[in-house]
Amino acid sequence: QVQLVESGGGLVQPGGSLRLSCAVSGSIFSIVTMGWYRQAPEKEREIVATITRNGVTNYVDSVKGRFTISRDNADNTVYLQMNSLKPEDTAVYLCNTYFGGVGFWGPGTQVTVSS
Q: Tens of pLDDT along 2-61?
A: 899 999 999 999 999 999 999 999 888 888 999 999 999 999 999 999 999 999 999 999
DSSP 22-56: EEEESS-GGGS-EEEEEE-TTS--EEEEEE-TT--
pLDDT of residue 26: 81
- Residues 63, 66: Cα–Cα separation, whole Å: 5
Nearest to 37 by CA among 87, 114, 113, 105: 105
SS3 of residue 88 by DSSP: helix
Q: Which residues contact 72 (CB under 8 A, 6 or more apart)?
A: 78, 79
pLDDT per residue as tens digits for the range 78-98: 999 999 999 999 999 999 998
pLDDT of residue 30: 81
Kindly tell me if the per-residue pLDDT of 104 is higher than 90: yes
- pLDDT band at residue 100 using 50, 70 and 90 as cut-offs: confident
Q: What is the DSSP letter of 84?
A: S
pLDDT of residue 113: 98
pLDDT of residue 1: 80
